[in-house]
Structure 1
């Protein structure tokens, strides 16, 4: 049973990573056809939403990462760092030029999801801590 759970977990993260890399590569390597990415994006977001809801429902956080602002800021910064070159290449290819306005737009389009990620992680961490405190302070049922 443990081996099966481990295999399923690795399969989920392999599919998640593969979808993310495929979408980023498609955006960076060709003119952006956002409608063409819709099926992958829908599946990717459904996977994310499912994991988010189930982890909050069962009050589960990562085994290694702490639910605190520092960790959430680092995760959000990593997201921004991954998105920045992809958005920059995409915007430069679609505009046909690389000027300050295009690069500033790319920075904004990388910073916005990073900020949103930080906000969602903070909200999830707050919910997790609140539920954990309630569970710890609940009277034992015997």
Structure 2
């Protein structure tokens, strides 16, 4: 048996495949949340970017893989609709998280400075998140349309 045949063999039925997919999905999201939590905690404890580089790189690699794979498959989200209103609300969720993080991180400079910096970071975060989600939504809609309505080859029509 060669290597190609070894990996083609299936030992699972449909129910086992679905169960395995759920386990793998939960594992991915658990690692994603824990890695994000580690990055947040390390940043609040004063770790330098150099000390957090490996975790940040792995986190970003996982995020990029997930986004690119979903867009290539024409999938947006299980629960959320791909529209501007949803993108604005999701961006506000990111703003809330960054605002709280900024308040904690910059509290040593005084309340006024901490609030000012947190608001500035929140506005920038909203703009970046919203723009990224809008661009991703456009790519998703284009890819979804391509998958739903595949173009027929000109040779087949003749």
TMscore range, shorter length: 0.7 to 0.9
Looking at both structures, which has the greater relative contact order when contacts are Cα pairs under 8 Å and sequence separation is at least 6? Answer: 1
Structure 1 unaligned regions, length at least 5: none
8 Å contact from structure 1 (residues 79, 114) kept in 2 = yes
> Structure 2 length as normaliser, TM-score?
0.77
* CA gap 1:64/1:99 in 2 versus in 1, 3 angstroms: closer
Structure 2 unaligned regions, length at least 5: 1-16
> Structure 1 length as normaliser, TM-score?
0.85
Partner residue, 2:119 = 107
Bigger CA drift: 34-43 or 14-23? 34-43
8 Å contact from structure 1 (residues 83, 110) kept in 2 = yes
Partner residue, 2:49 = 34
- Which digits, 9 at most, give the CA deviation of each residue in 1:49-103, with x for residues without a partner? 11111111111111211000111111111111011111221122xxx32142342
For 2:151 and 2:130, the matched residues in 1 are separated by 34
Q: Which runs of 4+ in 1 moved over 6 A?
A: none
User: 1:124 is matched with which residue: 111, 122, 136?
Assistant: 136
User: 1:10 is matched with which residue: 12, 15, 26?
Assistant: 26
Deviation at 1:137, TM superposition (A): 3.6
The count of aligned residue pairs is 138
RMSD between aligned residues:
2.0
Structure possessing the higher radius of gyration over alpha carbons: 2
For 2:91 and 2:127, the matched residues in 1 are separated by 7
Bigger CA drift: 107-116 or 49-58? 107-116
Please say if 1:88 is aligned against 2:100: no
